[in-house]
């Protein structure tokens, strides 16, 4: 009787030991199967595969074929897995940054996933607000409304945009600001404030002999001198008041109007 009981207990312990070994193995196999199925669905099936790309806005930007670049980027990846294999996790922000890094002309990139298989990409190109030229280097750049240089042009090119002739700063680089922000905002403010004037500003001049001075030339030929350390609104108001009270000045061959002295206006 004791022998039978002992054999039964030994068999029971052996069964428990077998189960304790088999259960983790089965659990591991199930987990691995689920992971394998998930990897297959995510990266090797057509469930989220990017098949269609719709590009609007700027499709070609000075030598850059946007569609060609996007397709090349999606076809690359890591460990043999293409980015286009999964439209959910391929990294839309990364694609947008990569595309913007290809050209300083690109202002923004917006990517939307219209469906698991389709991406809508909107590329916005910078628009020229004017031309900024540096007297020292002889270089000229198109700049946008935020003051960033995005394309270099020849100094002798015909100008149909507002021009700034900078006699102080040496130069800049494409993708960089054309000047410090305070000076750029000052130029922009003066230009915007006089947008409805009876004359047009054709050129700003940042003179090297007076760092506190900003000049601008009009389409009527005369020069206006402004003190950058004084109240700009006051100086613009004084100019408007002068021309409203003495409109005949615009019909004469003015040489300059000097607004730099508080409570005084000099003209010739």
pLDDT exceeds cutoff 80 at 125: yes
Query: Which pLDDT does position 38 carry in this prediction?
Result: 52
Query: Which pLDDT does position 194 carry in this prediction?
Result: 87
* Among 46-60, 174-188, 232-246, the least confident range: 46-60
pLDDT tens-place string over residues 19-77:
555 566 666 655 555 565 455 445 555 566 777 888 888 766 777 888 888 888 888 86
Shared domain for 84 and 9, answered yes or no, is no
- Sheet with strand 140-143: strands edge to edge: 149-153, 140-143, 130-134, 163-166, 201-206, 213-218, 223-227, 256-258, 266-267
Shared domain for 119 and 150, answered yes or no, is no
Query: Which pLDDT does position 258 carry in this prediction?
Result: 92
Shared domain for 155 and 234, answered yes or no, is yes
Answer with the residue of higher pLDDT: 250 or 43.
250
Of 249, 267, 250, 245, give the one whose Cα is nearest residue 258: 267
d(CA 187, CA 234): 15
d(CA 115, CA 81): 20
**pTM, 2 dp:** 0.74
Q: Average of pLDDT values for 83-100? A: 78
Of 137, 192, 128, give the one whose Cα is nearest residue 160: 128
d(CA 189, CA 239): 15
Q: Average of pLDDT values for 196-219? A: 89
Shared domain for 225 and 164, answered yes or no, is yes
DSSP state of 177: B
Q: What is the residue whose two structure tokens read 């009876």? A: 198
Q: Average of pLDDT values for 92-113? A: 88
> What's the N-to-C CA distance of the chain in angstroms?
131
pLDDT over 90 percentage in the chain? 31
Query: Which pLDDT does position 40 carry in this prediction?
Result: 47
Query: Which pLDDT does position 268 carry in this prediction?
Result: 84
Shared domain for 184 and 71, answered yes or no, is no
pLDDT exceeds cutoff 80 at 219: yes
Query: Which pLDDT does position 139 carry in this prediction?
Result: 93
d(CA 221, CA 203): 10
Q: What is the residue whose two structure tokens read 């940042």? A: 206
What is the tally of structural domains in the chain?
3
Q: Average of pLDDT values for 152-167? A: 78
Shared domain for 61 and 188, answered yes or no, is no
Query: Which pLDDT does position 196 carry in this prediction?
Result: 85
Shared domain for 31 and 102, answered yes or no, is no
Shared domain for 149 and 249, answered yes or no, is yes
Shared domain for 120 and 156, answered yes or no, is no
Q: 168 pLDDT band (50/70/90 cuts)?
A: very high
CATH number of 238's domain: 3.40.50.11690
Of 179, 175, 189, give the one whose Cα is nearest residue 107: 175
Query: Which pLDDT does position 73 carry in this prediction?
Result: 83
Q: Average of pLDDT values for 107-115? A: 87
Answer with the residue of higher pLDDT: 219 or 251.
219
Which domain-ending residue is among 80, 109, 125? 125
Which domain-ending residue is among 125, 160, 176? 125
- Beta-sheet pairing, 118-125 with 52-57: parallel
CA distances from 172 to 78, 105, 190, 252 (A): 37, 16, 23, 39
Shared domain for 257 and 158, answered yes or no, is yes
Mean pLDDT taken over the chain: 80
Shared domain for 32 and 92, answered yes or no, is no
For residue 260, the enclosing domain spans 130-267
Shared domain for 144 and 164, answered yes or no, is yes
Answer with the residue of higher pLDDT: 195 or 42.
195
């Amino acid at each position: 009787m004791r022998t039978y009981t002992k054999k039964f207990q030994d068999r029971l312990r052996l069964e428990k030991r077998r189960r304790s070994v088999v259960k983790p193995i089965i659990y591991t196999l199930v987990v691995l199967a689920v992971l394998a199925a998930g990897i297959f669905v995510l990266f090797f099936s057509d469930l989220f595969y990017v098949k269609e790309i719709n590009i609007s806005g700027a499709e070609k930007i000075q030598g850059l074929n946007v569609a060609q670049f996007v397709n090349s980027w999606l076809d690359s990846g890591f460990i043999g897995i293409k980015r286009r294999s999964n439209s959910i996790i391929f990294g839309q922000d990364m694609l947008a940054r990569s595309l913007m890094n290809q050209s300083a002309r690109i202002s923004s990139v917006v990517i939307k996933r219209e469906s698991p298989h389709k991406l809508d990409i909107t590329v916005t190109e910078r628009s020229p607000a004017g031309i900024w030229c540096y007297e020292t280097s002889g270089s000229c750049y198109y700049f946008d409304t935020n003051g960033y240089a995005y394309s270099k042009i020849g100094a002798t090119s015909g100008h149909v945009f507002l021009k700034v002739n900078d006699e102080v700063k040496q130069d800049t680089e494409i993708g960089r600001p054309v000047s410090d922000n305070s000076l750029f905002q000052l130029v922009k403010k003066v230009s915007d404030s006089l947008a409805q004037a009876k004359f047009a500003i054709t050129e700003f001049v940042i003179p090297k002999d007076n760092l506190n001075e900003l000049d601008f030339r009009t389409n009527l030929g005369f020069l206006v001198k402004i003190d950058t350390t004084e109240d700009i609104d006051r100086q613009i108001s004084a100019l408007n008041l002068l021309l409203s009270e003495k409109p005949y000045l615009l019909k004469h061959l003015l040489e300059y109007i000097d607004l730099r002295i508080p409570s005084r206006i000099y003209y010739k």
